[in-house]
A and B are shown apart, each in its own frame.
Chain A
Amino acid sequence: MQYAAGIDIGACFSKAVVVSNSRILSRHIIPSGGSYELAAGMVMEAALKKAELSRDDLAYVVATGGGATNVSFADKTSSDILCQGRAVSLLHPSVRTIVDVGDLSSKVSRIDQNGKTSAFLLSGKCAGGSARILQVIARVLQVKIGEIGPLSLTSRNPVKFNTQCAVFAETEAVSRIAEGLAKEDLLAGIHLALASQLYTLAERIGVEQDCALIGGGAVDIGLVKAIEEIAEHEFTVPAEPQIMAAYGAAILAGENII
């Protein structure tokens, strides 16, 4: 049996996936912390342990993500957009447009029926256009990040934010709370503001259905519903949206064995 691994070092989280013939044997996610190199080693070891394997069992490792070059044990690095395309296509063959909401930036890409990327676009490194704004607002509202989605869905009156900047949105949220507005209405408002930026980015490369939402932001049900509301159609969310790039890297690694 040949084993391969994909490792995705993101700005916020590092993810590792171990596969055998594109089948996931184990996966692990840890915060990237201050050292990408350290995080890479730790997340790889943890994923291997879950699969009851050791480094020597891995025939090939592909690293991806912003910190890919820090993965000293990788055989190759690949672009996260290409990796995501492969993974999403394998799991959801009908998907043609992918929206990836990361901590540092967001990305939209189009893939063909083989999972090959045909076009992509990156947001600027702007907290207002990435999942970071959700963390900023969650902190101000003193809501745990995992709770903002469900809370946002209870809103019946989403607040219209006057800004797309995370720093200004934070100030606005503070004032609005002082004015007595409900947390859920602010959260729903911020979800709509981010979703509208994401969808605008997607429209710039042309939205072709089906669409998938992936990345850390896709874990947030409030953001998923908001982008569906703006797009006026459903989005596919993979069961583990955070590990798509790592999984895709593992698929590529597996192909390199043959």
Chain B
Amino acid sequence: MTENKASCPQYYFAGIDIGSTMTKAVIVNGGVVCSVIGATGPEQRRLAGDVMREALDKAGLGFDDISYLVATGYGRINVPFADRQITEISCHAKGVSSLFPQARTIIDIGGQDVKGIKINAQGKPLDFVMNDKCAAGTGRFLEVIAGTLGLALGDLGKTAAESNNPARISSLCTVFAAQEVASRLSEGTSLGDLVAGIHHSVAERILRTVSRLSLEREVVVTGGGAKNGHLVKTLGDKLGYELLVPPEPLATGAIGAALLGKDRFMNALPGLHSTPAGQLPARPRNWGEVTFFS
């Protein structure tokens, strides 16, 4: 990484991944300089740019210091301050590959969708599948159940790990599963058994989605779902091998976005070579609202 840093010390690249639930911003030059993660939330959608601004502040940089800014994720359609939009499939592939060169499959468990992505050794996506039609199997399912049971999302995995007799949850639909969990709890099923049952149900649903690809090792789990250790373990138990998790599983899309921006910029650089770096044409950027629905 140090060597890389030396190769392009004067350039900074930013990636912003506006997911349905969380917004992630990353700044890289040779390696990752800093990353910031904030909620996307219904109110904050208009303020997605604040996360980018925070990342710049954290890195001690101004907007003009960023040579190229790539937006990705569900909210990428209109990011007024981005140079380019790239799909999250390409960005996740690139980001994960930069962290785990041996990765060949990504399972991304987001707030509103689940994706399976097959990648090659160069970090290029080869194939992908996705479920964004139904909340079952996504982070939202866990969120709704946590809310029903009065648990914090972050405590779900821990609660489930206490059970050695997971309850069988018959409803696939999030709305009906929440109702089922509430009534089973009042009938006396233990909280741990219910939450463990929910993890099995989510894991099965996720695997049903991604197994339309032939899963090839190493398999890396990303997204908010990867923060739930018990979910990752349940997935691994069902697959029969251990899954890899990045240090910050939410940031891989933003890292990939920044790195793809860097590639594009560096490839174009020879053409710009006559202009000293400090005098590259300034890009007009503006902090506008990010719109979600076309």
Binds B, one of A109-117, A157-165, A218-226: A157-165
State whether the Cβ of B174 lies closer than 8 Å to any Cβ in chain A: yes
At the interface, yes or no: A124 with Cβ under 8 Å from chain B? Answer: yes
Q: Is A54 an interface residue (CB 8 A)?
A: no
Q: Are B172 and A124 in contact (CB under 8 A)?
A: yes
- Chain B residues with CB below 8 A from A175, complex form: 42, 45, 292-293
Please report the C-alpha to C-alpha distance between residue A132 and residue B174 in the assembled complex, in whole angstroms.
12
SS class, residues of chain B in contact with chain A: loop
CB neighbours (8 Å) of A136 from chain B are 175
Which residues of the other chain, A, contact B172 by a CB distance below 8 angstroms? 124-126
Among A156-176, those with CB < 8 Å from B are 162-168, 171-172, 174-176
The answer to whether B135 and A165 have CB atoms under 8 Å apart is: yes
Of A124, A162, A166, the contact of B293 (CB 8 Å cutoff) = A162
Whether, in the assembled complex, B287 has its beta carbon less than 8 Å from a beta carbon of chain A, the answer is no
Question: Could you tell me the distance between the alpha carbons of A168 and B143 in the complex, rounded to whole angstroms?
Answer: 12
A127 adjacent to B173 (CB under 8 Å): yes
Query: How many Å lie between the Cα of A164 and that of B133 in the bound state?
Result: 7
Which of these, A34, A132, A162, A164, contacts B175 with CB under 8 Å? A132
Q: How many A-B residue pairs have CB under 8 A?
A: 52
Which residues of the partner chain B approach A166 to less than 8 Å between Cβ atoms?
Answer: 173-175
Given contacts A34-B183, A167-B135, A168-B135, contact A126 B173 (CB under 8 A): yes
Q: Min CB distance, B224 to chain A, in Å?
A: 15
Q: Please, how many angstroms separate the alpha-carbon atoms of A23 and B292 in the complex?
A: 55
Verify B42–A171 contact, CB threshold 8 A. yes
Chain B 126-181 interface residues, beta-carbon cutoff 8 Å to A? 133-135, 140-141, 144, 171-176
Residues of A in contact (CB 8 Å), total 22
Given A168-B112, A175-B292, A127-B176 contact (CB < 8 Å): yes
Q: Is the CB of B175 within 8 A of A163?
A: no
Q: Is A178 an interface residue when CB atoms closer than 8 A count as contact?
A: yes
Which residues of chain A have C-beta atoms less than 8 A from B292's C-beta?
175
Residue pairs across A and B with Cβ atoms less than 8 A apart, 25 shown, are A34-B183, A104-B176, A124-B172, A125-B171, A126-B173, A127-B173, A127-B175, A132-B175, A132-B176, A136-B175, A163-B133, A165-B134, A165-B135, A166-B174, A167-B135, A167-B141, A167-B144, A167-B174, A167-B175, A168-B112, A168-B135, A168-B140, A175-B293, A176-B293, A178-B43
> Which B residues contact A (CB, under 8 angstroms)?
20, 42-43, 45, 112, 133-135, 140-141, 144, 171-176, 183, 186, 292-293
